[in-house]
Every structure is written in structure tokens, then in C-alpha cells.
Structure 1
Amino acid sequence: MKKIVLLSAFSLLACNRNSTVHPPVGGVLSKNDLEVSKQRSKGLNTLEREQIQDWINHQKTPFYAMPLNYWTDNKEMQQRSRMQNDTPVSYEYELYDFDQTKIYDQPQGKMNVSLGHFDELKSVEDALHYLKSGEEATLLVPSSLAYGTFGDEKKIDNDIPLIIKVKVL
């Protein structure tokens, strides 16, 4: 019995030790780490915007800048008012890299969802706020509005800008 009490006491003392705690992945960063990350993101965004603009300059189809930091081939989108959240929409889209290679064989998409209430690529959801039923648009999207730093952990690598062909059904 004494051994059990003694072992229990040692176990409790061992649990009470102060141990070094590390922030979890994605946890709190120092101010310096945040500044380095911010500068990296700014630099990457600037570089991708220049690369996309250069790509646009070599295309026959004109593209137009949207306020959210992507381009579209649908000139009318710029001039329309944005549809309100809660508007129902069904859509699909296909993903391409800037070599125009299709990334997935099947289109992505959803049926009968409300704008503003679903988890989607920011650029796709933004474009859906401007497109009418039956309309299509090609979006040129920097990585920050696509799959960002982590990619999709399947076929899309990190920090990859995309061409997205979206259609409202």
C-alpha cells in the first residue's frame, strides 16, 4: 500500500512540473515572424500580379481587373452591382494552371447554395456575386485567392496562381 501511495505522489509531482510549451502549428507568432510573413506575402502577390499581367499581354482575349485582386474575361462583371448574400446559386468550375493544363478531370461545384454562406475559393464566390444564370467567366487568380500557402494537398501545390473557368447553372 505504501508503494502505491508513494508512486501516486511521484506521479502527481511529475505532472506538476513546468514544461516548455510551444505554440501549435498556425499558433501565435512573434512580431518579427508576422512582419517576415507579411513581407513575403506582399512580395509574392506583387510577383504573381506581374506574371499574370505578362500572361494577359500575350493573349488575344482581353481581361479586366476586379476589385478583389483577380482578373476576368467578362467585361460586364465590372459594371454590375454585386448580388446580395443569401441569393441562391448553383455553379461549377474547372481549374487550370497557367500552362492551361486542366488540373482535375471533373468540375468542382455546388447546387442550390446561398451566396455568403458557403466555403469556397474567395475568387469564385466573389465572381458568383456578379454572374447571371447561364453565364460563364474565366478568372485569373493569384495564389492568395486560390489555395494559398498550403495548396489543396492533392494536385495543387503551394503558392500556385490559377485559371478558373466558372459557370453559373
Structure 2
Amino acid sequence: MKNLLLIITLLLLCISCKSPEARMPESVHSGSFLKESAERSRKLNELERGQIESIIKSNPEKNYIASESGFWYYYGNQIENDTVQPQFGDIVDFDYNVSNIAGTEIYSKENKTYIMDKEELFTGLREGLKLLKPTETATFIFPSQKAYGYYGDENKIGTNVPLICEVTLNTITQNND
């Protein structure tokens, strides 16, 4: 009896000292959300590109330029001889209005003072300002990812809205630091 009790005790000790095993998840998604999100973004980009190309084709008198940053623009007033353009830290004063891709005005002529790359401004407009010289006017067409993207501006601009902005750069105050 003593031997039987000893054997049972040893068996219990061996079984209870087993290391824990990892549990397998009940369902494996393997990145399907990211794949679906990327596909939605591709389709949205194609749709917006088609809308923008339609606008460009319907205005052949305007000389649209495709920027390296992924938006299109044309000059309303271009200055040829001035070479000063905004740089990091410069203070720019500009007027702009914002419309949706259908041409419905969202914000009308607003004046803004902005410190280049040091304050919040949506990506497309920030990059567009760098292309302008004082007193130049340009009209930019921004796909939604260069505008306010998925979140909108939490006011008048909704989710994934491509924008048309007419911008006049009034002055540049250079930062001498």
C-alpha cells in the first residue's frame, strides 16, 4: 500500500509539472483587414483620379500641371521673374477658397497667415504653397488623400472629399534664423 501511494504521488507530481501550452486562436484573419483597406483606397483613388481627369479635359484652355506630390494645378496669375518661394519657417500670408470637386463652395475667400511646415495645414495646401511666388494665384485640385482624407475637417468637409482650392500668395516674410 505504501508503494502504491508513493507511485500515485510521483505520477501526480509529473503530470502537474507539465509546462503550459499556448492556445491557438479560434479564427485567423492573416491581415485581411489591411488587404481590404488597401483595396478600398485603390478604388477610391481610381474614382477620384477619373473625376479629376474629367475636370481637366473639360477645361482645355487651362494649362494643368501634375505635381510630384500627387495633385494638379494651374496658374491664374504667374510671376516669371521673381524667384522667391516659401521655405521652412517662412511666414506666408495667403487668401484661399475651398470647393468640392463639383464646384460647390465650402469656404469662401479666407485670409490666413501660416508659418511654413511649423503649423497645421492639410498636406496638399502646404505643398502647393511651396510652388507659389508672391502675388501668384493658382488653382489646385487635391485628391482626398492630399486634402483632409478619411477624417475630413470635422466641420464642413466630410470623409474622403477631393477639393479644389484657389490660392493667392500675398506675401512671404523670410525667416532669417
Q: Does 1:40 align with 2:40?
A: yes
Q: Does 1:141 align with 2:142?
A: yes
Partner Cα separation in structure 2 for residue 129 and residue 42 of structure 1: 27
Partner Cα separation in structure 1 for residue 128 and residue 148 of structure 2: 16
Q: How many residues align?
A: 137
Q: Does 1:167 align with 2:159?
A: no
User: For residues 91-142 of structure 1, what are the alpha-carbon distances to aligned partners after superposition, in whole Å with 9 as ceiling and x for unaligned?
Assistant: 23110122222112452x432x331111101111101111111111100111
Partner Cα separation in structure 1 for residue 71 and residue 135 of structure 2: 21
Q: Does 1:55 align with 2:58?
A: no
User: Which ranges in structure 1 are unaligned for 5 or more consecutive residues?
Assistant: 1-29
Partner Cα separation in structure 1 for residue 107 and residue 86 of structure 2: 29
* Aligned ranges 1:98-137 → 2 under 5 Å: 98-107=101-110, 109-111=111-113, 113-137=114-138
Alignment partner, residue 155 of structure 1: 156
Structure with greater strand share of residues: 2
Partner Cα separation in structure 1 for residue 84 and residue 48 of structure 2: 28
* Kept in 2: contact 1:94–1:164 (CA 8 A): yes
Deviation at 1:157, TM superposition (A): 2.0
- Over aligned residue pairs, what C-alpha RMSD do you find? 2.6
Q: Secondary structure at the match of 1:42?
A: helix
Alignment partner, residue 26 of structure 2: none
2:148 aligned partner, one-letter code: Y
Q: Secondary structure at the match of 2:150?
A: helix
* Aligned ranges 1:9-88 → 2 under 5 Å: 31-59=31-59, 60-74=61-75, 83-88=86-91
Deviation at 1:82, TM superposition (A): 6.9
Alignment partner, residue 90 of structure 1: 93
State TM-score, norm by structure 1: 0.71
* Kept in 2: contact 1:81–1:130 (CA 8 A): no
Q: Secondary structure at the match of 2:36?
A: helix
* Kept in 2: contact 1:65–1:71 (CA 8 A): yes
Partner Cα separation in structure 2 for residue 104 and residue 42 of structure 1: 28
Q: Secondary structure at the match of 2:98?
A: strand
Partner Cα separation in structure 2 for residue 33 and residue 149 of structure 1: 16
Q: Max radius of gyration: which structure?
A: 2
1:53 aligned partner, one-letter code: E
